Structure formats: structure tokens, C-alpha cells
Structure 1
Amino acid sequence: MVTAIVLAGCETAPPPQVAAPVKPVGQPMPYKWTVGNAEKGHKAMVSTFSRAGLAPGQFVWAETLPTEGDPKVIVDLLTQTAYAFKGDVLVGAASISSAKTGMVTPLGYWKVLDKKKLGHSRKYDNAPMPFMQRIDEYGIALHGGVNPGYPASHGCVRMPMKFAEKLFGLTKLGTEVVIEG
């Protein structure tokens, strides 16, 4: 009898009020790690090139480049976009293909450690990596390659070939690469 009374008491209690989740301000997408560079790159692409996005294999590049300022590369894994800056000026943007499921394109601050016009993978059947710019000791690199419009690489950042060539000409050893996503 006591059990019936307890259950009846539970059934008549009003359901708890639950608030709807609040979307974080200033971070419209679920980034695992960002310091705002990806958003800065996107805004610069819209204002500089009047483009809000790029199709697979597409890129934009400025007709003239600033003479001052260090190059910097920003990679946004969520939008699959890379941004090339010279100083504070966006000079190019491209669609990319980063690591597929089960592989990793590492987030964080990196530097260009090695550059080769025609590099080759040390891990994956000596695969060609044109305009290769290695950013870590494990072989992760920025390079020209197949760009299907979604993450499909073993961890490298694949870019349209012509963009990779232009970026290769812009950067130098020690150029900062920031990968957010």
C-alpha cells in the first residue's frame, strides 16, 4: 500500500522546466579549437573577394600582393578552407581536403619546416606531394592534391594545385600555419 502512495505522488508531480540550449555567441560552429583566425579569414574573404564560400577545387588569389608583412596560413577544418595572408592582408583562399575519418589533421600553431616543389609521402606508397610544405615531424604537410570537397586525406591539407603553387611561392621556412577546427 505504501508503494502505491509513493508512485502516485511521483505521477502527480509537475515535469521539470528545461531551458532550450543557448547558441554560443561569436562561435556559430562547433569548433574544437579556435583563436578566431578562421573567422578572420572568412570575413576577409567576403570583403576582399566578395566570396562567402568556395566549391571543391576552387580558389581565389589577389592580382597584386603587398610588399610588406610576413606570410601566414590559416586552415579552417570545419569549412574546409585555407586562407593565405601577407601581413594583415588576405591574398588568397582555397577549398581544401583535410583528414578523413580515423585520421588527424592536427590543430594548433605550426611552422613550415620543409619545402619541396615535388615532395613524396614517407608513409603512403611514396605518393607525390606537389608544392609540399611540411609542418610537423610526422609528415603532415600542405600540398597540391585531389580536392573532393570533404575530408579525404591521411592528415595532410590538400589544396588545388595552382593555389598550392602560389602559396609555395609566398611562404618561406618558418612561416606560421594555424589550423583551427
Structure 2
Amino acid sequence: MTNSGSLSKKLMAMGLSTALLTIGIQQATAAPVTNSNHSIPKKAAPKKISLPQSSRTIGKLELPPLGDKNTFLPPFQTPPVNPLQEVRLVLRLRERRVYVYRKNELQTSFPVAVGKDGWETPTGNFKVMQMIREPSWEHPWTGEVVPPGPDNPLGSRWIGFWTDGKNVIGFHGTPNPESIGRPASHGCVRMYDKDAQALFEKVEVGTPVIVEP
């Protein structure tokens, strides 16, 4: 009996110790340490950054407002029209004269010599196809080549506008100014050399050439 009573007291003491231990653990879980040296730090809230209105300026470059594209982009510009593209030549054989028109306005005219009988200058609508400064000239029968210079039959400028695949006809200067105003050439259009130089500056390859009787 004595042994049994002692055992019961021991078991009761052990149960009480277990109960106290359990309660202590629960209290430790429910009540975290509040010591300021061991407290859990709170996460800082993110700071809002607001840019002042002056932030629209970077250095000395002021940014344009939205939608204002023309502040930095130049306004659309139509490419200028090449004045030479509006030029046309009208050669009137009976008048022995070539007229320079821009659109429908007469700009100037020059006296010329045209093809003689049997070597008439062809009529029709043509275009400038060749332009040469200080051309050389090859004699059509002998093959002799005359270099640029005062004795060159083509003068200082050549503006070709017709060909049959072998022969070529065009405006050119001449060392024989007395022939101007007459049918004197083999089909080409002779001009005073200074006039040939002036005409050369008024046309380009592709300029229309209208030859009328």
C-alpha cells in the first residue's frame, strides 16, 4: 500500500510539471518578447517621389509639350522645283531663231543658222540628249579630229538633240559668225559662241526641243 501511494504521488507530480510546461510554452507563443532590443523591425513604407514642373527642362533643352511635334521637327516643306525642268526650246526654222520658254513665258531668244538645202534641220519634238563643254569635232569624211579651241567648228558648247544612230544634230557655237541668220549648216543649229554658252546654262539633258518649219 505504501509503495502504491508513493507511486501515485509521483505520477501526480509529473503530470503537474507537464501541465505547467505546456502552459508556459503557450504563453511564450502568444506573447512575443517586447524588449526593445529584440523587437521585429517594421518595413518602411516606400517614399513617393514627385518631380517638380521644372524637371521638364534638361540642361538648356526645353522639352515640348505632348503633341507639339513642330517645336523640334521642322514643318513639312515641298521640295523646290528645278527651274530647268520647266524650260522648253522652240526653234523656228523660217525665222532662223530659237526661243527659250519657261512654262508659257518667253525668257529670251537667239539668232541661229540652220541646215541648208539638202541638209535641212529635222522638224518635230525632241529632247536635249547630250551636253558637252569644249567639245572636240571629228570630220565626218576624213576622220580628222579637231581639238577644242578657236578653230573648232562646234565652238565652245555642244547641245545635241537629234540622232539617227549615226549622225547627231544639235546647237553649237561657230568660228564663222557671218553664217548666223542663214541656211548654212549640214543640219546643225549654229549660234554665236557667247549665245551658245548662254543657252547651255538654261537647259539640261531632257529639256524639250520643238523644231517648227
Q: What TM-score comes out, normalization by structure 1 length? A: 0.58
Of 102, 109, 113, the match for 1:97:
113
Identity %: 28
Q: Which SS does the other structure have where 1:152 is aligned?
A: strand
Of 99, 107, 132, the match for 1:83:
99
Question: Which residue matches 1:135?
Answer: 161
Residue identity in the other structure for 2:202 = L
Question: Which residue matches 2:14?
Answer: none
Q: Does the alignment pair 1:155 with 2:177?
A: no
Partners of 2:120 and 2:84 in 1: how far apart? 34
Stretch moving more, 136-145 or 71-80: 136-145
2:124·2:211 contact (CA, 8 Å) conserved in 1?
Answer: yes
Partners of 1:174 and 1:70 in 2: how far apart? 11
Of 125, 134, 137, the match for 1:109:
125
1:105·1:155 contact (CA, 8 Å) conserved in 2?
Answer: yes
Q: Which SS does the other structure have where 1:110 is aligned?
A: strand
1:119·1:128 contact (CA, 8 Å) conserved in 2?
Answer: no
Of 120, 134, 139, the match for 2:136:
120
Partners of 1:167 and 1:119 in 2: how far apart? 15
Partners of 2:180 and 2:84 in 1: how far apart? 34
Structure 1 stretches of 5 or more lacking a match?
A: 1-65
Structure 2 stretches of 5 or more lacking a match?
A: 1-81, 147-151
Stretch moving more, 114-123 or 161-170: 114-123
Q: 1:139 to 1:68 in 2, by over 3 A?
A: closer
Higher relative contact order (CA 8 A, sep 6+): 1
- Structure with the higher helix share, 1 or 2: 2
Partners of 2:190 and 2:162 in 1: how far apart? 15
Q: 1:140 to 1:121 in 2, by over 3 A?
A: farther
Cα offsets for 1:93-118 (capped at 9, x unmatched): 11110001121211000111000012
How well do the aligned residues superpose, as a CA RMSD in angstroms?
2.1
Question: Which residue matches 1:175?
Answer: 207
1:71·1:86 contact (CA, 8 Å) conserved in 2?
Answer: yes
Q: What TM-score comes out, normalization by structure 2 length? A: 0.50
